[in-house]
Structure 1
Amino acid sequence: MSAPEATVRAGVSTRFLRSELWLVYGRRRNWVGALVLASVPVILAVAVRLSSSGAQGGPGFLDLITSNGLFVALAALTLELPLFLPVAVATIAGDAVAGEANLGTLRYLIVTPVDRTRLLAVKFAAMVVFTISATVLVAGVGVLLGLALFGGGPLPTLSGTTLSFAEGLGRLALICGYISLCLVALGAIGLFVSTLTEQPIGATITVLVLTLASQIMDAIPQLSAIHEYLPTHYWLAFGDLLRDPIATEGLRPGILSALAYVAVFTTAAWARLTTRDISS
C-alpha cells in the first residue's frame, strides 16, 4: 500500500470514528443518562452534608466522606457500579449494531467502502470511549463537589496509612481505569448480543439481565465454584487500589478476567457480523 493510500484509509477511519462518537454523544437520551449518572454524587454529597448525624454505618466509603472529599467520588462509583453504570454501557453496546439494523442503515454501511471488521472496530472503540467518559464523569463530579463541601487533604487507606492528596488523585485515576476495563468487558458482551438481533432494546435488556444474574449468583455461597468465572465477580476488587502498598491479589485476576471477556466476545461479535446475511 502506498503512503497516499494509507493516509486516505487513516483519514476515512478517523472520520468514521468521529461520526460514531458524534452519534453516541449527540443523542438526547444519552445526555439524560449522563445527567442521571452525575446526579448520584450530587445527591450523595448534599445528603451527607445536610445530615446532622453524618454518614456512619453506610455502605462503601460513606462513613469516610466527611474526612476527605475524594471519598464522594469513591462512594458514588461504588453505588453506581452494580446498576447505573452497567445500564449506561449496555445501552450503548446494545445499540451499536442492532440499532443500525433496526433503522435499516446497517446494509448501507456495509456496501460502502467500510468493511465489517472496521465497522465493528469503530463501534467497539466508541463504546470504550463512552465507558471511560461515563466513569470519569461520576468520579469527576464527585471530586469537585466533595472538595467543595468537605475539603481535601491526606487520603486514608484501607491499610491504616495515609496518602498525600496528589497520590490520592492518582489512586482514584487507577480505580477509574480498573472500573472502566470491567465495564468494557460487559460492553463486549453487549456488542456480541447486538450482532444477534435487530432490536437494540432487546440487546440492552439481555445484557442487564446477564449482569444482574451474575451478581446474584456471585452472592450465593453454594455457587462458589463458578464465582471466579462470572463477569462481575472482580468488580469491587478496586478497593485493593486503596491499600498501601497496592494489593494485586484481587486486581490481577480481575484484569485478566476482563481482558478474557473482551477477547472472547469481540471475537464472537466479529465472527457473527462477518458471516451475517444483511438484507435490510
Structure 2
Amino acid sequence: MSQAEVIGTGGADGSDRPGGAGAAAGSDAGPRALWTLGLFRSELFTTLRRWRTLALLAVLAAVPVLIGIAVKIETGDGGSSGGGGGEGPAFITQITNNGLFLVFAALAATLPVFLPMAVGVVAGDAIAGEANAGTLRYLLVAPAGRTRLLLAKYATVLTFTLVATLVVAASALAVGAVLFPLGDVTTISGTTISFGDGLLRAALIAVVVAASLAGLAALGLFVSTLTGSGIAAMATTVGLLITVQILDTIPQLDAIHPYLFPHYWLSFSDLLREPLYWDDVQKNLGLQALYAAVFGSAAWARFTSKDITA
C-alpha cells in the first residue's frame, strides 16, 4: 500500500475503510461512536499528563494564591485594597469582606492573559505538535478519520479550558476560605444573596468564562493545521490573541470592537447582579459560537485536504 493510500483513508467524512461510510453506516455506528469516545479520552489523558500542561495549570492555580496573599498583606493594617466598582480587578475590594469574591477577582485577573495564553498553547499544539513529533500520520492510519480526530482534538482543548478555569476557581475558593471570612454575598446591584447562591453564581461564572474561550480554541486549532511546527503554531496563536486584544483597546476602532472575540469576556460580572443581566453574556456566547463555527470549519477544510507526510 502506498503512502497516499494509507493517508488517504482518513477522509473528510470520517470513514477510513474501503467503501466509505455509506457501506457500513448501519453496522459500524456503535463501534465508531465508541472509538470516537475512546479517541477523545486518549487525547485528553495525553494532554493532561504532559509536563507543559501541568505547569500551565500550576501557574493558573498560583495566581489566586498571590492575589489573596497580596490583599491580606495590604489590608492587614486595616487599610483598603483599592477603589470600588463591579468589573474586573475591582472585585478585589470585596475580598476582605467575603473570601468568595477572590474567585471572581481571580477569574477577572486571569481571563485577559493567563487563561487564554494557556488555551492558545494547548490549541496551537493540538495538530502541529503531532505533525512535529511524527505521530500524526500514525493516528490517521488507525480507524479514526480526519474529521473525528479533529473533533476529538477540539473537544480536548475545550475540556482543558474548563479544567483550567475550574482550577483557578477552586484555588481561589480555597485561599479565600483560609485567609478571609465567608458569608452572604452582596451583589453588584446592592442586594444580598446567601452563600449557597453565591457558590452557584461562582460555578455559573466559571462555566461562562470557559465558554468565552471557545472561539480562541477554534482559532488556535485552525492555526495548528497550517503548520508542522508546534512552537510556531503556539506562538502564532498567542500573537493573534495579543494583537486582537490591542485592537480592542484602540478607541478609533470602536466600530469593530463588538466583533472581536475578547470584547465581552468580562461580561460575566453581570451574573453578579440581581436579577441576572444576560444581554452582554449572550452577546459573548453568540460571538464565541460564531468564531468556533468559522474557524472550526476552516480547520476542517484545511485538515481534511492536507497532505499528511509526518
TM (norm. structure 1) is: 0.96
Is 1:275 the counterpart of 2:298 in the alignment?
no
1:56 to 48, 71, 82: 82
Distance 2:72 2:97 in 1: 12
Q: Does 1:10 align with 2:36?
A: no
Q: Distance in 2 between matches of 1:107 and 1:249?
A: 45
Are positions 1:123 and 2:139 aligned together?
no
Q: Is 2:124 the counterpart of 1:94?
A: yes
1:159/1:15 Cα in 2 relative to 1: closer, same or farther (>3 Å)?
A: same
Offset, 1:155: 0.9
Residue 163 (structure 1) shift: 1.3
Q: Does 1:171 align with 2:201?
A: yes
Which residue number in structure 1 is paired with residue 5 of structure 2?
none
Residue number in structure 2 paired with 1:151: 181
Q: Secondary structure at the match of 1:61?
A: helix
Alpha-carbon displacement from aligned partner over 1:197-250 (angstroms, at most 9, x marks no partner): 111111111121221112211111110110011111010111111111111221
Q: What letter is aligned with 1:36?
A: V
Which residue number corresponds to residue 213 of structure 1? 243
Query: Whole-Å Cα distance in 1 between the matches of residues 58 and 306 of structure 2?
Result: 36
Structure 2 distance, partners of 1:81, 1:60, is: 14
Opposite residue 12 of structure 1, the aligned amino acid is W
Q: Partner residue of 1:24? A: 47
Any stretches of 5+ residues in structure 1 without a counterpart? none
Structure ID, larger Rg: 2
What secondary structure, in the 3-state scheme, does the structure 2 residue paired with 1:44 have?
helix
Query: Quick one: percent identity of the two aligned structures?
Result: 47
Residue 3 of structure 1 and its aligned partner are, at CA, apart by: 7.6
Partner letter of residue 45 of structure 1? G
Q: What residue in structure 2 maps to residue 35 of structure 1?
A: 58
Q: CA deviation at 1:270?
A: 0.5
Q: Return the alpha-carbon distance in structure 2 between the equivalents of residues 3 and 170 of structure 1.
A: 43
* C-alpha deviation, 1:268, in angstroms: 0.7
Code of the residue aligned with 2:56 in structure 1: it is G
Instruction: Describe the shift of the 1:216–1:2 C-alpha distance in structure 2 as closer, same or farther (beyond 3 A).
Output: closer
Deviations 1:89-125 (A, max 9, x none): 0111001000011011111111221110000010011
String of CA shifts for 1:138-160, please: whole Å, max 9, x gaps.
Answer: 01110111022212111111111
Is the contact between residue 49 and residue 149 of structure 1 (CA under 8 Å) also seen in structure 2?
yes
Matched residue type, 2:29: A
1:57 counterpart letter in structure 2: G
Residues in 2 aligned to 1:85 and 1:135: alpha-carbon distance in whole angstroms: 7
Matched, 1:44 2:67: yes
Of the three residues 109, 112, 115, the one matched with 2:142 is 112
Matched, 1:256 2:286: yes
Rounded to whole Å, the distance in 2 between the matches of 1:5 and 1:219 is 51
Amino acid in structure 2 at the alignment position of 1:266: G
Contact 2:82 / 2:90 at 8 angstroms: preserved in 1? no
How many residue pairs are counted as aligned between the two chains?
A: 280
Question: Matched residue of 2:254: which SS?
Answer: helix
Contact 1:157/1:242 (CA < 8 Å) preserved in 2?
Answer: yes
Q: 2:83–2:90: 8 Å Cα contact kept in structure 1?
A: no
Kindly indicate whether the alpha-carbon contact (under 8 Å) linking 1:68 and 1:152 is maintained by their aligned counterparts in 2. Answer: yes
1:78 aligns with 2:78: no
Per-residue deviation at 1:10? 2.6
One-letter identity of the residue aligned with 1:261? Y
* Corresponding residue of 2:270: 240
Which letter does structure 2 place at the counterpart of 1:216? Answer: I
Contact 1:17–1:126 (Cα < 8 Å) also in 2: yes
RMSD: 1.5
Counterpart of 2:4?
A: none
Say yes or no: does 1:160 pair with 2:190. yes
Contact conserved, 1:60 with 1:78, CA < 8 A, in 2?
A: no
Cα offset, 1:2, TM superposition: 7.9
Q: Which consecutive residues of structure 2, in runs of 5 or more, have no partner in the other structure?
A: 1-23
Task: Tell me the distance in 2 between the aligned counterparts of 1:44 and 1:209.
Answer: 26
* TM-score w.r.t. length of structure 2: 0.87
SS at match of 1:8: helix
Q: Residue 225 of structure 1 aligns to a residue in which SS?
A: coil
